[in-house]
Structure 1
Amino acid sequence: MSGTKLPLTIWFRAMHIMTSTKQGVSAIELGRRLGVSYPTAWYLAKRLRRAMTEREARYLLGGSGPDGAPVVVEADDVYLGGERNQGSGPGGKTRMIAATERYEGGRMGHVAMRTVVGFTSRAVRAFADTCLMPAVRVHTDGLKAFLAFGTPARSHVVTVSGSKRPSRQRTAPFHGLNTAIANLSTALKATHKAIAPQHTSDYLGAFCWTTNRRHNMFGMIPAACRAVATSSILTRRRAYAEIPVLLG
C-alpha cells in the first residue's frame, strides 16, 4: 500500500468485504459499498487478489495432517468458464489443475489451483513442482498426463470411480476436491459475468487463499494485511497490461 492515495480505511474496508463472503464480490459492488469509482474499486480488488495469490504460492500441499498422519493429495483436471461447446472440445474454456489435501476421515485440507496451457505431462510436472511437496502421495483419475505426478520420491495412485456423478459421502475418493471445484464454480458464476484470461490466476489464488483460511475467520484481516505488506508492487498500468499466466 506504499504510495497509495486512498485512505487506509478504504483498504481495510475492502479487505473486510472481500474476505467476509464465500462468493466474493464484483468490482461494481465493491465500489458501491466503498463509495469509490469503478476503476478504483477494480484496482483495489485486483491488488488484493494479487497479494493473496502471491502469499498462497508459498504453500506446498503435502506433509502431515493435524493428527500427524501423512496427507494424501487429490488432483483433477478442470475446464473453467467459456462458451457452450459446439461439437467436441472445450471451446473457449480455461484449463486448470486443482488439488486438495485429504486428511484421515476424508476431511479437506489446503487447496491449490493453477491455470495451464493444456493437460500435458509438462504442465503436470510444472504444477507438481510449484504446488506439491517432493515426497507426497498423489491420487488422480486415469488421465494419461497425470502419470507425470509420479517420481522416485512422489508416489502416484490412479483411482477410477466408474461414475460421472460424484459421491456425496465424505470418505469417497475426490469428495473434498469435487467440493472445492463446485464452490469455485458457484462463486464465479454468482458474482461475475466473465473473467478475462489474464486475470484468472488471481481469481483462483484469492479463492484458494480464503478457502485455506476458512477455519480462522477472525484472522482474515491481519492475514490480508500481511499478504499486502509482503507482496510485489502492482501499479494500475501494469495491472491493465498483464497477459495470462499459464503453467506448461
Structure 2
Amino acid sequence: MDSKKQGVSRREFLKTTGIATGTLIGGGIIGGLVGYNVNKSPGKENKTGNNHQGQNHELNVGLKFFKTMASFNILAQATERILPEDELGPGAIGLGVPYFIDNQLAGAYGMNAKEYMQGPFEDGAVTQGYQSRLTRAEIFDQGIAKLEEEAQSRYQKGFVELEPEQMDEILTAFQKGEVAMMAVTSSFFFTLLRQATLEGAYCDPIYNGNKNMEGWKMKGFPGHQFSYAKEIESKEFVKYEPQSISSMSHS
C-alpha cells in the first residue's frame, strides 16, 4: 500500500493496530513501522534528522549511562524513527524516551541483574527469552556504534545527519538481522531498542520518560489514581486527568 496516497501516518497505524492503546506491546508489529512513509504537514518533518535531544533537555535530567552526547543523539534519532512526532502528539524525543533508556541502561536493566547470565550460550527460539552472553548495556553500546558505522559506510555521513528515509533504511537492515554484530544479532538489538522505546513512551514519568504524561494522554490512560470509589458505580463515563505516582497525595 502506498502510504502517501492513503494519507496514513505512523501514529494512525499505531492507533488502528492497537499499539497506541497498549493492547499490543510485544511481538514484532512496531518493527514494521520502520520504512513506513510518513505523510506529515509542512514544517513538521525533520528532514535532516538533527533534532538533537541533548540540545534542549530538562535541567534536572542528566546522562547516567552514555559518556558522550554523540552516542546519546544517535540513540535519540533512532527512537524517534520508531515513534515519530506527528499531528497526534510528541514522538520519542518529545516524550523523553532517550533519557528513559539512558537511565535504565545505567541500572539493573542494563546489567541484566534479574537474568541468568551463565553459559552455555546458544541461538534459542523466540520463546526462550534472553540468550546473549552480553548485557543490555553492552548490546546498546555496540548497536549504537554499528548504527554510526552503517551510516558512514552507506552515506559517508553521521547517523544523525541522515535523511529520515536513510535512517529507516539502516534501521530496517538491523530489524532484518542484516548487520553483523558480535555475540548478538542486529535483529535482537533492534528488538531491545523497539521495546525500550515503547516502555519509555508509556512509563510513569518518574522514570524520565512519558514527559508531561503525554503518552498516557494520547491513549486516554488515567495513570495512577488514588481511588475510583466515588465513580465506580457511576452510569456516566468518567474521564480522569492522568496522574503520576510522584504527584499522588499521601495525606
TM-score, normalised with respect to structure 2: 0.25
Q: Which has the higher contact order (CA 8 A, sep 6+)?
A: 1
More strand by share: 1
